[in-house]
């Protein structure tokens, strides 16, 4: 029995949009049929690499295309709510980048509007489908692990990172910064694995008003478990993206997004628990398979707009206090 192919429009053709274009064209259940970006250079680049997609001169043209089943919103955050509402007006399923926005009150309204629409909806937190996180979750659920605390460490030699350097908005406080862009993934991870997340204290540094944060230290509690977070930019060139889950007799380290290691007396240097040859591709392909399940209204693991809003509340609380 043949399976339906879903037709995708991508709004926002920068680094994140290009990544989705690449992954969607590799997935057997998707066809990219339309795209839009305000930058002519981004449209031209996409036309060269994805000649089968119609490059539109407005978001409305892309969303209104009758061939489109699903819209992926990958623009800067200030436009997420506006474009999601455009999708709702045209009855299109939405797969949105995080955050939903930077205005908490408007995002709360957006969640309610999305729910009332009855349309398939999800937000792209990659830890929803990462094979390493599935293994991590299973390990944490073993009673003998005895989770005591979590330590999250993030460091970026430059912010924005080189592959995002063209996106000037990422360096501003209005909608950018690593707390919204990266820390949000780890707040989602905590919520997925442990439950409710509460911010207890936060300190941060901005070098000048209106600039994105340069460092942030926070203490949180996730499902009753204490969590420490340290995030910095500048200095040593090696990027660090890791979360350590400390148990009674062992620790689990989710490192560089997609790798998982267990350390204990028998493996003091760490034993790899994730064995994907290309873990990023495996994660994105699994995420797109979850999108298919969402479109077919089958059970799936993707975070809803409501879940994304709960993450956004924690993130914006952090930023409001520095």
Averaged over successive runs of 10 residues, the pLDDT of the chain (322 residues) comes to 91 97 98 97 96 96 98 98 98 98 97 98 98 98 98 97 93 97 98 98 95 98 98 94 98 97 95 94 98 98 98 98 92
Supply 45's token pair.
């680049």
Rounded to whole angstroms, the Cα distance separating 262 from 319 reads 32
Give the neighbor-by-neighbor strand order of the sheet with 271-272.
197-205, 215-222, 225-233, 149-156, 240-246, 251-255, 259-263, 271-272
Count other Cβ atoms within 10 Å, centred on residue 211: 15
> Token pair for residue 139?
């390990």
Sequence-separated (6 or more) residues with CB below 8 Å from residue 210 = 172, 173, 174
Q: What is the homologous superfamily of the domain 128-286+309-320 according to CATH?
A: Dihydrodipicolinate Reductase; domain 2 (3.30.360.10)
Phi, psi for 292 (deg, rounded to 5): -60, -45
Place of tokens 């001169």: 57
- Residue 285: CB atoms within 10 Å: 17
Strand-pairing partners, residue 95, are 72, 122
Distance of CA 26 to the CA centre of its chain: 20
Domain residue ranges in the chain: 6-124, 128-286+309-320
CATH number for the 6-124 domain, one of 1.25.40.340, 3.40.50.720, 3.30.1330.10, 1.10.260.40?
Answer: 3.40.50.720
- Give dist(CA 16, CA 164) in Å, integer: 9
Three-state DSSP state, 147: coil
Q: Is 128 in a helix, a strand, or coil?
A: helix
What value, to the nearest 5°, has the Cα angle with vertex 53 and ends 48 and 59?
110
Half-sphere exposure (CA, 13 Å, Cβ side) for 318? 30
Percentage with pLDDT > 70 across the chain = 100
Rounded to whole angstroms, how far apart are CA atoms 291 and 10? 14
CA pseudo-torsion sign 293, 295, 297, 302 = positive
Question: Cα separation of 5 and 69, whole Å?
Answer: 10
pLDDT of 283 = 97
pTM over 0.95: yes
Q: Kindly report, residue by residue over 246-262, the tens digit of the pLDDT.
A: 999 999 999 999 999 99
Burial class (CB in 10 A: 0-12, 13-18, 19+), 297: exposed
Residue 18 burial (10 A CB sphere; 0-12, 13-18, 19+): buried
CA dihedral 167, 103, 229, 187 (to 10 degrees): -100
Tens-place pLDDT, residues 258-312: 999 999 999 999 999 998 999 999 999 999 999 999 999 999 999 999 999 999 9
CA pair distance 136, 138, nearest whole angstrom: 5
Distance CA 106, CA 88 (A): 16
């Amino acid at each position: 029995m043949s399976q339906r192919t879903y037709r995708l429009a991508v709004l926002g053709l920068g680094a994140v949009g290009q990544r989705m274009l690449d992954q969607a064209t590799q997935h057997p259940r998707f066809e990219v049929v339309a795209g839009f970006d305000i930058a002519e250079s981004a449209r031209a680049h996409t036309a060269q690499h994805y000649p089968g997609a119609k490059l539109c001169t407005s978001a409305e043209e892309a969303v209104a295309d009758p061939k489109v089943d699903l819209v992926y919103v990958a623009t800067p955050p200030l436009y997420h709510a506006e474009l999601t509402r455009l999708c709702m007006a045209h009855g299109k399923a939405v797969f949105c980048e995080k955050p939903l926005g930077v205005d908490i009150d408007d995002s709360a309204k957006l969640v309610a509007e999305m729910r009332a629409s009855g349309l398939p909806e999800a937000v792209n937190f990659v830890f929803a489908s990462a094979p390493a996180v599935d293994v991590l979750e299973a390990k944490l659920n073993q009673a003998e692990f005895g989770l005591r605390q979590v330590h999250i460490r993030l460091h970026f030699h430059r912010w924005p990172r080189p592959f995002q350097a063209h996106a000037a908005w990422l360096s501003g406080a209005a909608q950018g910064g690593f707390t919204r862009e990266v820390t949000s993934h780890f707040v989602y991870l905590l919520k997925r694995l442990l439950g409710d997340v509460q911010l207890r204290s936060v300190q941060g540094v901005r070098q000048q008003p209106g600039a994105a944060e340069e460092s942030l230290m926070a203490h949180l509690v996730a499902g009753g478990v204490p969590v420490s977070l340290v995030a910095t930019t500048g200095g040593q060139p090696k990027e660090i993206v890791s979360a350590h889950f400390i148990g009674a007799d062992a620790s689990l380290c989710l490192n560089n997004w997609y790798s998982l290691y267990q350390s204990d007396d028998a493996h003091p240097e760490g034993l790899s628990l994730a064995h994907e040859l290309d873990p990023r591709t495996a994660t994105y392909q699994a995420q797109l398979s979850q999108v298919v399940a969402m479109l077919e209204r089958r059970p799936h693991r993707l975070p809803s707009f409501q879940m994304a809003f709960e993450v956004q509340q924690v993130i914006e609380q952090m930023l409001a206090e520095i």
